[in-house]
Chain A
Amino acid sequence: DAGVIQSPRHEVTEMGQEVTLRCKPISGHDYLFWYRQTMMRGLELLIYFNNNVPIDDSGMPEDRFSAKMPNASFSTLKIQPSEPRDSAVYFCASRRTGDSYEQYFGPGTRLTVT
């Protein structure tokens, strides 16, 4: 079975540009989570969805960040406009209700904003 799929794996962009990160959760999983990992702050939860509905976005840093989940197999995290301090590794994770609370992580997208 394919795990969580993220694209792109690496993204380099200039300050002010729009960045879109993509995630395909594991089929049948009804929870999807977006995390950001930096040396300064560690692994932070940004937002999570249940059945495609955003449940908690309290971790989203500011209005420049937005996330959508138009269907059960696709989610995006968008940063507009991007800033150098957004440079981080962004992870998507998913899990299924009824299983343990284990979240399955994707390989991450390494974002560099210059």
Chain B
Amino acid sequence: GESVGLHLPTLSVQEGDNSIINCAYSNSASDYFIWYKQESGKGPQFIIDIRSNMDKRQGQRVTVLLNKTVKHLSLQIAATQPGDSAVYFCAETGTASKLTFGTGTRLQVTL
């Protein structure tokens, strides 16, 4: 039969605008979360992390927000650039060893 791949949600953003990528996680016991960026043909690359005792953490041009009540994580990218075009994954862990990855969101930056 016909194979069906994962449907990757796609976010299209104009260069210079802010991007918000969302992630819902399932395990209420998860206590650590990471955002990864994966460019075409490369392995996932760490962007930013956050522990469950925090609700916000900022890095360079990126901010991660955590809402434990609704088990929601978001990644905000300020002043999006063409080099930000990639697939973004959230990952969670409760055991500190295994990471469980989400399905990913494709970010397309238009000029």
Do A40 and B6 contact each other (CB < 8 Å), given the known contacts A45-B98, A45-B99, A50-B97? yes
Q: CB-nearest residue of chain B relative to A85?
A: B3
Query: Which of A31, A45, A91, A102 meets B34, CB within 8 Å?
Result: A102
Do A107 and B43 contact each other (CB < 8 Å), given the known contacts A48-B98, A50-B97, A101-B93? yes
Q: Are A100 and B49 in contact (CB under 8 A)?
A: yes
Contact with B along A80-109 (1 / 0, CB 8 A): 000000000001010000001111111110
Do A102 and B46 contact each other (CB < 8 Å), given the known contacts A41-B6, A56-B98? yes
Count of chain B residues with a beta carbon within 8 Å of a chain A beta carbon: 25
A31 to B97, CA, bound (A): 8
Q: Are A103 and B99 in contact (CB under 8 A)?
A: yes
A12 at interface by CB-CB < 8 Å = no
* Residues of B contacting A31 in the complex (Cβ-Cβ under 8 angstroms): 97
Count of chain A residues with a beta carbon within 8 Å of a chain B beta carbon: 23
Q: Are A105 and B98 in contact (CB under 8 A)?
A: no
* Residues of B contacting A103 in the complex (Cβ-Cβ under 8 angstroms): 46, 99
Q: Are A108 and B5 in contact (CB under 8 A)?
A: no
A101 to B100, CA, bound (A): 12
B42 at interface by CB-CB < 8 Å = yes
Query: Which of B3, B97, B103 meets A42, CB within 8 Å?
Result: B103
Contact with A along B14-43 (1 / 0, CB 8 A): 000000000000000000101010000111
Q: Are B101 and A43 in contact (CB under 8 A)?
A: yes
* Residues of B contacting A104 in the complex (Cβ-Cβ under 8 angstroms): 46
Query: Which of B4, B5, B44, B102 meets A91, CB within 8 Å?
Result: B44
* Residues of A contacting B88 in the complex (Cβ-Cβ under 8 angstroms): none
A-B residue pairs in contact (CB < 8 Å), sample of 12: A42-B101, A42-B104, A43-B44, A91-B43, A100-B49, A101-B32, A101-B49, A101-B96, A101-B97, A102-B46, A104-B46, A105-B45
